[in-house]
Amino acid sequence: MGEKVAAGQVDLSDRQRYRDKLRRCLTGLERLLAERRFDRPKNLMGLEIELNLVGADGMPKMLNGQVLERIASRDFQTELAMFNLEVNIAPHRLEGRVFDRLAEEIRTSLAYADRKAGELDAGIAMIGILPTLDRDDLVSSNLSDVDRYALLNDQIVAARGEDFHLEIDGVERLSCTSKSIAPEAACTSVQLHLQVTPERFAGVWNAAQAVTAAQIAVGANAPFLFGRELWRESRPPLFQQSTDTRPPELQAQGVRPRTWFGERWVTSAYDLFEENLRYYPALLPICDDEDPLDVLDAGGAPSLAELVLHNGTVYRWNRPVYGVADGVPHLRVENRVLPAGPTVTDVIANTAFYYGVVRALADEPRPVWTRLPFEAAAANFDAACRYGIDARFTWPRRGRLGGTTEVDAAALVRDELLPLAEAGLEAWGIEPADRDFYLGVIDERCRRRVNGASWQAATFHRALEAGMSREAALAATTRRYVELMHKGDPVHLWPVGRP
């Protein structure tokens, strides 16, 4: 949500005016789709990575404002809390050696940011949830000094009307409360963007939804929160609960959470934007001066500012995005499933796997979403978050038998999804050397059943066995993680334990 939002009170008339403006924006989007006003295919992808600031002791450092001043680059931005940063990588065309180029750009950017953070005795960590975070770190006083975060926090807290209850029952159980949305800041992710034509949007979004579980299974990297070992990827339940505007009574009525997987396959991008208006009250009812229908009547491309802002407060794991570049509207699918890290090589391997398998699944004559119930895809996502690379999924049978069967996640990726990803990357025109190297990283993770979460858990338990306290073991795990992250070997090659 890169909007410039001014702090201030929101009154009752703002909400009605905003709702009316949202409806005009939705009508504008419908007209844009009907009139085929969108950009032509460009095969463009984009990447954002959320980061943590840590000290040499492995503890979070609340310094993002000072670090950003030293970095002095528009590629780096604030995130929700003062120990967070975000780096944005410029859009690239999916072709040739794009993944090697991306890897080099990210390494260069992170090394520069790490040097600048080092001037303040801090460093950069790419990890789904920093294991050393304490409840006292995730309070409203540690939110970034940005108006939109303060206003968003105020609006979500007001909508909920009571403390947020965080309860995650995994390897161990966490149960606690928070007075703000600050715990959301523990979740640091990689967001993958793919620009698509309206005709391709539904197929790409449905394919992305179908493979979210596989993405998490191979990429899980967030097993700890507040000193507890929870799910292998604890970000999704934490994110949902820390942004949940529903008190228990509304949850019992089946009101949808603002962070959700969804409930159906779609036929158009319009379906998702329309659902957002139908189901979700505005959190930031701030109106733009533009009238989208007047702009359309004049032959222009409306910004649909209210629709874009509202869309940014509904946290789908695969989010529809509307934008305007060089005066031409376009649509993107934003994949928000993956945790950050562990290394640049791992991030790019996850990226290659996603773009490859989504392309192949979207091109299939008998798509997977016509054979897999949506409820099964949602259950697969939940299983992947809980169990990581050891999860089991429901998946369509191959061949003529039809129906679904239960499969091991790692076996599904190796036997079915990696060959699809290879075909998809070939269709994008990716250089075979790039394709084989990065998909090989995914294959090795599955073969060895190792990802960031399994390495963190194994190293933590090794430290406990050596007689360390839980706090010391988590700090030691974090320090070793950061050391190996900067060394750069993919996580399946990391030795377990301290050196």
Is the pLDDT higher at 399 or at 189? Answer: 189
Angstrom distance (rounded) from CA 425 to CA 471: 43
* Contacts of 456 by beta carbon, 8 Å cutoff, 6+ apart: 131, 221, 223, 224, 477, 481
Residue 13 scores a pLDDT above 80: no
Tens digit of each residue's pLDDT (9 = 90 or more) over 441-473:
999 999 999 999 999 999 999 999 999 999 999
Mean pLDDT, residues 22-41 taken together: 95
Confidence band (pLDDT; 50, 70, 90) for 1? very low
Maximum separation of any 2 CA atoms in the chain, in Å:
72
The rounded Cα 138 to chain-centroid distance in angstroms is 19
Closest C-alpha to 374, from 492, 266, 270, 255: 266
Tens digit of each residue's pLDDT (9 = 90 or more) over 154-176:
999 999 999 999 999 999 999 99
Do the bridges between strand 123-125 and strand 44-54 make them parallel or antiparallel, or are there none, so unpaired?
Answer: antiparallel
Confidence band (pLDDT; 50, 70, 90) for 5? low
Angstrom distance (rounded) from CA 95 to CA 428: 6
Angstrom distance (rounded) from CA 430 to CA 95: 5
Say what angle helices 269-279 and 198-219 make with each other, to 10 degrees. 70
Confidence band (pLDDT; 50, 70, 90) for 10? low
- State residue 312's pLDDT score: 94
CA distances in angstroms from 421 to 72, 108, 417, 449, 486, listed in the order given: 37, 27, 6, 19, 28
- State residue 2's pLDDT score: 39
Angstrom distance (rounded) from CA 81 to CA 178: 15
Closest C-alpha to 184, from 221, 143, 216: 143
Confidence band (pLDDT; 50, 70, 90) for 286? confident
Tens digit of each residue's pLDDT (9 = 90 or more) over 416-450:
999 999 999 999 999 999 999 999 999 999 999 99
Closest C-alpha to 172, from 122, 228, 221: 228
* Contacts of 135 by beta carbon, 8 Å cutoff, 6+ apart: 176, 178, 226
Q: Of how many residues is the chain composed?
A: 499
Tens digit of each residue's pLDDT (9 = 90 or more) over 335-353:
999 999 999 999 999 999 9
* Contacts of 2 by beta carbon, 8 Å cutoff, 6+ apart: 77
Closest C-alpha to 490, from 434, 438, 431: 438
Percent of the chain with pLDDT over 90: 91
- State residue 122's pLDDT score: 98
Average model confidence (pLDDT) across the chain:
95
How many CB atoms lie under 10 A from the CB of residue 380? 28
Residue 34 scores a pLDDT above 50: yes
CB 334 within 8 A of CB 323: no
Residue 51 scores a pLDDT above 70: yes
Tens digit of each residue's pLDDT (9 = 90 or more) over 259-285:
999 999 999 999 999 999 999 999 988
Cα within 13 Å of Cα(190), Cβ side = 29
- State residue 398's pLDDT score: 83
Burial of 278 (0-12, 13-18, 19+ CB in 10 A): exposed
Tens digit of each residue's pLDDT (9 = 90 or more) over 108-166:
999 999 999 999 999 999 999 999 999 999 999 999 988 889 888 999 999 999 999 99
Confidence band (pLDDT; 50, 70, 90) for 15? confident
Sign of CA pseudo-dihedral 469, 474, 479, 485: positive
Residue 3 scores a pLDDT above 60: no
Angstrom distance (rounded) from CA 71 to CA 445: 34
Tens digit of each residue's pLDDT (9 = 90 or more) over 290-321:
999 999 999 999 999 999 999 999 999 999 99
Angstrom distance (rounded) from CA 491 to CA 186: 21
Angstrom distance (rounded) from CA 109 to CA 72: 12
Mean pLDDT, residues 367-383 taken together: 97
- State residue 266's pLDDT score: 98
- State residue 496's pLDDT score: 97
